Amino acid sequence: MKQLILASAVAAAVAAPAAAYAQAPAAPAPASPHTVTANVGLFSEYIFRGVSQTAGKPAVQGGFDYSHESGFYAGTWASNVSWPQDFRVYTRSSLEWDFYGGYKWTFANDFGLDVGTIYYYFPGNKNGINNTAGVSADTWEIYVAGTWKFLGAKFSYSLDDYFGARPTGRKTDGTWYLDLFANYAFGDSGWSLNAHYGILDVKDDGNQAAGTKASYDDWRIGGAYTVPSGPVKGLEVGLYYTDTNVKNGAAGTNFYTDTTGYNTAQDAFVLYVKKAF
């Protein structure tokens, strides 16, 4: 009997660790250093730096983004546009397709730094009436941005003609744009307020009297609601107001009045809905 009891105790002692090992939960898989996201949006109008790209008409936009835990990122984004044809720079062009990449760093006390480059590509026929010199709207910029909590600033510098603009007939590489912005979120409510002030300085600019002045300031203020949970979590609905200080020249028009007579730099309210995946 003693031998039987001793044998049972030894068997139980050996089996206990094995049973515990078999029942232990599996270790979680390490998080991937790679992140890929997509986004799509519908806007009542496409405004870029205070200027309409669709002459007051709606725009469908979307893109894909890749990021690495090291801070490297790259992506592509596209939207319908009408201004290349409206200004007769192109005889046929209705798409803006952007490609970008760079590095982002975060520091203590909520500071961030972003350095990168972006190429704006406009496919289409460049033999427009006002484009006898073969000027292209394609534009390459480099940029650096800094953020602190909900505040930020971004400086962009053009390495070639600024979207084909030549107010005095000279090339506009060296044009720069300063973007000052604030995006304040009200906790986890999903509500946020945003504001922006921008300054565009076009190299070899024209003058206001002749209606060829291309430099200007622009501003924007608005709000948004992002669904915090549920089946449409992440869906964002927003509204903002935007305007510029672009003034008409002696002829009653300005550099941003297209060939149909539409002032693309006028104030506007923009309503949008977008979703990231």
- Domain map of the chain by residue range? 41-276
Residue 18 CA to residue 34 CA, distance in Å, equals 37
Domain 41-276: give its CATH architecture: Beta Barrel (2.40)
Residue 167, helix vs strand vs coil: coil
At 31, the pLDDT band (50, 70, 90 cuts) reads confident
**What is the DSSP code (8-state) at residue 136?**
-
Residue 5 predicted with pLDDT over 50: no
At 30, the pLDDT band (50, 70, 90 cuts) reads confident
Instruction: Express each pLDDT in 146-184 by its tens digit.
Output: 999 999 999 999 999 999 999 999 999 999 999 999 999
Beta bridge partners of 103: 72, 115
pTM, whole model, 2 decimals? Answer: 0.88
At 6, the pLDDT band (50, 70, 90 cuts) reads very low
Instruction: Express each pLDDT in 112-132 by its tens digit.
Output: 999 999 999 999 988 655 555
At 12, the pLDDT band (50, 70, 90 cuts) reads very low
- What's the confidence (pLDDT) of residue 4? 41
Residue 228 CA to residue 237 CA, distance in Å, equals 12
Taking all residues of the chain, what is their mean pLDDT, rounded to a whole number? 90
Instruction: Express each pLDDT in 63-88 by its tens digit.
Output: 999 999 999 999 999 999 999 999 99
Residue 94 CA to residue 257 CA, distance in Å, equals 18
Instruction: Express each pLDDT in 229-270 by its tens digit.
Output: 999 999 999 999 999 999 999 999 999 999 999 999 999 999
What's CA 35's distance to the chain center, in Å? 17
- What's the confidence (pLDDT) of residue 28? 73
CA distances from 68 to 37, 39, 51, 168 (A): 12, 18, 33, 43
- What's the confidence (pLDDT) of residue 19? 44
Residue 217 predicted with pLDDT over 90: yes
